Every structure is written in C-alpha cells, then in structure tokens.
C-alpha cells in the first residue's frame, strides 16, 4: 500500500543510541496483553513499522526490525516488520548478555540473553555451572505462498545464515509466522517424526514441506505440533 504523506509512516524512528526510546500506543497495548497472560518472551510479526529500534514500556523491551524508512518525498510501502518483546526479567537477561541483538532485515530479528552466570547452582542438582548460560531467540516472518521463488529462497538463506551465527552452546529458540502448514504426524512411517508431532493441523503444503526440511537439517522440532 502506498502511504506517501502519512505522518505515521514518514515519522523517523529513533536510533538505538538515543536515551529515550519511542513508545507507541500499539506497543503499550501489546505490553498490557503480555502482562495479562504472563508471557516472558514474545515474537511479533507483520508490524509494518519502519526501522531497527529498541522500544520500551513499563519495563518491557521490544527489539524491532523493519524496512528502512525511505527518503523524504519517496512513496513508503508498509510491509513485514518483526520484533522480539521481553518482559522485565528477560529484559534484565538481555542487558546482562551485553544487549546483543541483530536486525537482520524486515523479516528476521535475533537476540541473545544471559540466563545464568558460571558458578551458579543448577536447580535440583548438586553441581555448579561451568560456563555462562545463554539463550538465543530468532523471530521471523516468512513470505506467503504468493511470493516469488527468489524471495522465498532468500528468506531461508537468511534464516540459515542467522542460525549458523548463533553460538552452538546457546539454547536456541526460533519463533515466527512461517506461512506454512506442516500437517499431522501419521501413526507410523513418518519421515519427519523428530520434527513434527501428532497435534498439527490440516494437510502439509509446499511451504510446510520446506519448513520441515529446514527444521530437520538443523535438528529443530516444531513444538506447537507436540502438545
């Protein structure tokens, strides 16, 4: 959609170096909902906001990655946009990890959180951690089935590069809207038995087949099909 002259589109977002990140009313509403459901980490997609920014509200933090804002006088097209939202506890973990995050593009954002220090006791166990414990979170928004093949290929190439850049010792979580249906695990003979469970929905489509293959290659499981 062409949005030239729309002040909400044309308004420049602040850089992460600024002391007071912008607070948007939509973000405040999202924070209220995350509080209500006690969600610590959330991935949001299709924000249609511009810029790579850090937003904060009520102790929550959003690490947002969107399209670059076009120059003044140039038509602006709202699309894509992804963010990782952290509650106050996870915000502290992100800060302890050195505020590490990367805006890969308007479809991918990644953040690294430090969950525990070396030497901390492991709950219910009688030993201390030998090294720091980190969590890396990738959030993404995949192209739809109507997108061109080069667009889809670029998305998965960027996802692979992003995942390859995550330290191997980190806990790894991939969130997102993959615009895919992976189907249901059959009673027997499923070649994707390590990837999908028995609680998926619908019939697997071409996008779902590609997602299953990508997950299998990277030893990932699609967790919302297991419960």
Mean pLDDT of 115-127: 78
- pLDDT given for residue 76 in this prediction: 74
Q: What's residue 131's pLDDT?
A: 87
Domain boundary among 129, 145, 171: 171
Inside any domain, residue 1: no
Count of structural domains within the chain:
2
Q: Which residue has the higher pLDDT, 70 or 101?
A: 101
Q: Is residue 55 part of a domain?
A: yes
Strand 108-116 with 100-103, pairing: antiparallel
Sheet containing 100-103: order of strands: 100-103, 108-116, 133-141, 171-177
Least confident of 33-47, 97-111, 114-128: 114-128
Q: Same domain for 98 and 142?
A: yes
Return the beta strands (E) in 58-194 as ranges.
Answer: 60-65, 82-86, 100-103, 108-116, 133-141, 171-177
Does residue 157 lie in a domain region?
yes
Note whether residue 94 is domain-resident: yes
Instruction: Say whether pLDDT at 226 is over 50.
Output: yes
> Is 184 found in the same domain as 167?
no
Q: Provide the token pair at 96.
A: 């302890």
Residues 96 and 130 in one domain: yes
pLDDT of the residue at 23: 52
State percent of the chain over pLDDT 90: 66
Average pLDDT score over the chain? 87
Residue 211: count other Cβ atoms within 10 Å of its Cβ. 25
Query: What's the pLDDT tens digit per position in 12-71?
Result: 444 444 434 445 678 889 999 999 999 999 999 999 888 899 989 899 999 999 998 877
Kind and range of the H or E element at 33? Answer: helix 25-36
What was the pLDDT predicted at 225? 93
Domain ends where: 129, 144, 171? 171
- Do 194 and 165 lie in a common domain? no
Any domain includes 47: yes
Q: Are residues 116 and 219 in the same domain?
A: no
**What's the whole-number mean pLDDT along residues 168-187?**
93
Q: Which domain holds residue 146?
A: 7-171
| 105 & 196 share domain | no
Neighbour count for residue 151 (Cβ, 10 Å) = 13
pTM of the model: 0.85
Strand partners, 85: 42, 62
pLDDT, position 2: 33
Task: Tell me if 90 is assigned to some domain.
Answer: yes
Q: How confident is the model over 144-176, as pLDDT tens digits?
A: 999 999 999 999 999 999 999 999 999 999 999
Report if residue 124 sits inside a domain.
yes
Mean pLDDT of 167-195: 92
Same domain flag for 96 and 198? no
* Residue with tokens 């027997």, as numbered in its chain: 188
Tens of pLDDT, residue by residue over 81-90, are 999 999 999 9
* 166 plus 204 within the same structural domain: no
Give the residue-averaged pLDDT of 66-77. 81
Task: Tell me, yes or no, whether 16 and 113 share the same domain.
Answer: yes
The answer to the question of residue 2 being in a domain is no
85 and 158 part of one domain: yes
Q: For 22-31, 76-85, 99-108, 200-209, which range has the lowest pLDDT when averaged over its residues?
A: 22-31
Q: Are 183 and 190 contacting, i.e. CB atoms less than 8 angstroms apart?
A: no
89 and 185 inside one domain: no
- Tell me, yes or no, whether 193 and 114 share the same domain: no
User: Cα(62)–Cα(79) distance, rounded to whole angstroms?
Assistant: 18
In the numeric block, the tokens 């949005």 are attached to 3
pLDDT at 85: 97
């Amino acid at each position: 959609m062409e949005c030239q002259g729309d002040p909400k589109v044309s308004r420049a977002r602040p850089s992460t170096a600024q002391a007071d990140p912008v607070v948007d009313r939509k973000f405040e509403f999202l924070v209220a909902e995350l509080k209500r459901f006690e969600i610590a980490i959330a991935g949001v997609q299709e924000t249609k906001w511009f810029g790579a920014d850090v937003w904060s509200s009520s102790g929550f933090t959003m690490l947002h990655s969107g399209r670059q804002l076009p120059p003044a006088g140039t038509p602006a097209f709202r699309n894509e946009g992804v963010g990782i939202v952290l509650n106050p506890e996870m915000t502290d973990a992100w800060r302890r990890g050195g505020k590490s995050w990367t805006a890969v593009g308007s479809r991918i954002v990644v953040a690294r959180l430090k969950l525990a220090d070396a030497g901390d006791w492991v709950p219910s166990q009688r030993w201390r951690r030998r090294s720091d414990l980190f969590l890396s979170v990738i959030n993404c928004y995949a192209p739809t089935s109507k997108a061109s093949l080069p667009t889809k290929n670029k998305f998965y190439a960027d996802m692979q590069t992003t995942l390859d850049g995550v330290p191997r010792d980190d806990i790894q979580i991939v969130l997102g809207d993959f615009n895919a249906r992976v189907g249901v695990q059959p009673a027997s003979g499923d070649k994707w038995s390590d990837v999908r469970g028995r609680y998926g929905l619908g019939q697997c489509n071409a996008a779902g087949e590609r997602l299953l293959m990508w997950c299998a290659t990277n030893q990932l499981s699609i967790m919302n099909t297991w419960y």
